[in-house]
Chains A and B, each alone.
Chain A
Amino acid sequence: MIYLDNAATSWPKPPEVVKAMAEFLERLGGNPGRSGHQLSVAAGRVVYEVREAIAELFRVSDPLRVIFAQNATHAINLALRGLLRPGDRVVTTSVEHNAVMRPLRALEREGVRVTQIPCGSDGWLDPEDASRTIPPGTRLVAVTHANNVTGTLMPVADIAATAHAAGALVLVDAAQTAGVVPIDMPGLGIDLLAFTGHKGLCGPPGTGGLVLGAGVDARAVRPLMRGGTGSRSGSEEQPEDLPDKFESGTPNGVGIAGLGAGLQFVQGRGVPAVREHEMTLTRLLIDGLRAIPGVRVYGTMDPARCTALASFTVEGLLVSEIGYRLDEEFWILTRVGLHCAPAVHRTIGTFPKGTVRLAPGIFTTAAEIQTTLQAIRQIVRP
């Protein structure tokens, strides 16, 4: 079986992840931060260590500004709902996932003004366009680090500089990049970073979070949920302490333990080395696909400017047909359709039919890419 759906979730998970999760359940099952006994402390320590590792990964100095959440969608909702009020302006791009667009459309109905900057058909936002489209007084600029259809990496630092000049905060959706592309939050000018644990970081589903940069006044961010935190328990008001303000309810300790092991695995290989490996595979994919007559590939065509994925269509064939045959006849697992991102497909001209997306990962080999290209050649020219 060849797994090329790593942009949806990475698979397989490193054995260390499974081991860390089993160990958490077997040996450290206390409720982190709720009691003073040793199992609670041990569980709390595991969660804290991962918080610290995430802070280091994204180069933020205060680990308490790492807010754990269920996934990137949860983190994005927290950022958007937490910051935006009726009358506020938010600027976003035409290549955002529905994790950003659906909360924004809902907020729009509540009086938030939403502007979408059009991107090129390769999925790239020209920073010049950003500087023309972000008016002074904008509250937030929400931009993907790389969209999930073409993988095109955005010029985040340039967009952030423009956003800051307009007085806006910058939210970056790093669902596709955390763990596979180095991210230096202060260096890039990112104020809020939403990440998921189950993709590039090799952790389990149900993990992710929102990292608040030093420039974000956490008191101005409303929590999505309120409830027990194990802190200031005498009060019926939600505490302002970080991360507790945004982490009501028992955290996903077992998932976070797995996330920590996944991150450690990725760092063992080194994020730059992982990136190098994935760029090599993406180069093979893009060049191989483009050499097949009738195949059209979308994006920048440059592995240095995108994450590890290739989206394509074939003249005269439905994407669902291609995906089905790859799965049934060749045991090659891909994702076809609109990828929860209609905005991206409109931008690159593949709406509503969608594309076939091939997304290699940390464990994918060059031989698997060659086998996949051979299978596609067979499907296209029977």
Chain B
Amino acid sequence: MSDFGVVLFHTTSAALRAEKMIRKAGFPGKLIPTPRQYSSDCGFALRFDWTLAERVREMLTGASVEIAGLHPLS
């Protein structure tokens, strides 16, 4: 089990928007190619610190950024 999680998105624009939002909030975040175990429509996913999962989810839903999933990275 790593300490990372990923957010999956339907669109690139949503992923890019989410990346900027969480970085602006001071959280570490990086766009990575979508991990193989998750099927996603968007070629990349946002990797973040899994301990912040709930706060990331709240931040994105609060700003109406639609996500396709939020999972721990195994």
Which positions in A face B, CB cutoff 8 Å? Answer: 32-37, 40-41, 44-45, 48, 51-52, 62-64, 229-234, 239, 241-244
Contact = CB atoms under 8 A, between A and B. Distances in A.
A37 B41 contact: no
Interface in B3-61: 10-14, 16-17, 20, 31-34, 41-44
A36 B14 contact: no
B13 A234 contact: no
A60 B34 CA distance: 30
B44 A64 contact: no
A9 B14 CA distance: 32
Contacts of A45: 16
Contacts of B11: 33, 229-231, 239, 241, 244
B64 interface: yes
Contacts of B41: 230-234
Contacts of A231: 10-12, 41-42
A233 B32 CA distance: 19
Q: Is the interface of A mostly helix, strand, loop or mixed?
A: loop
A243 to B, nearest CB: 6
Nearest to B43: A36
Given A52-B20, A64-B17, A232 B33 contact: no
Given A36-B34, A230-B42, A62 B64 contact: yes
A229 B43 CA distance: 12
Interface of B: 10-14, 16-17, 20, 31-34, 41-44, 64, 66
A41 B42 CA distance: 11
Chain B contact residues: helix, strand, loop or mixed: mixed
A41 B10 contact: no
B61 to A, nearest CB: 14
B66 A241 contact: yes
B12 A44 contact: yes
Nearest to A231: B11
Nearest to A233: B41
Contact of A48 (B10, B16, B42, B64): B16
A43 to B, nearest CB: 10
27 contacts: A33-B13, A34-B43, A35-B43, A36-B32, A40-B43, A41-B44, A44-B13, A48-B12, A48-B17, A52-B17, A52-B20, A62-B64, A63-B13, A64-B14, A230-B11, A230-B12, A230-B41, A231-B10, A231-B11, A231-B41, A232-B10, A232-B41, A233-B41, A234-B41, A241-B66, A243-B13, A244-B13
B16 A44 contact: yes
Given A52-B17, A230-B11, A230-B42, 6 more contacts: A35-B43, A40-B43, A52-B20, A230-B41, A241-B11, A243-B13
Nearest to B9: A231
A230 B42 CA distance: 7
A320 B41 CA distance: 55
Contacts of A230: 11-12, 41-43
A41 B31 contact: yes
A305 to B, nearest CB: 38
A230 B44 CA distance: 11
Contact of A241 (B14, B16, B44): B14
Contacts of B66: 241
Contacts of B31: 41
B68 to A, nearest CB: 9
Contacts of B12: 32-33, 44, 48, 230-231
- A-B pairs, top 5 by smallest CB distance, nearest first, are A33-B12, A36-B33, A36-B43, A48-B16, A231-B11
Contacts of A33: 11-13, 42-43
A44 B18 CA distance: 13
A329 B11 CA distance: 55
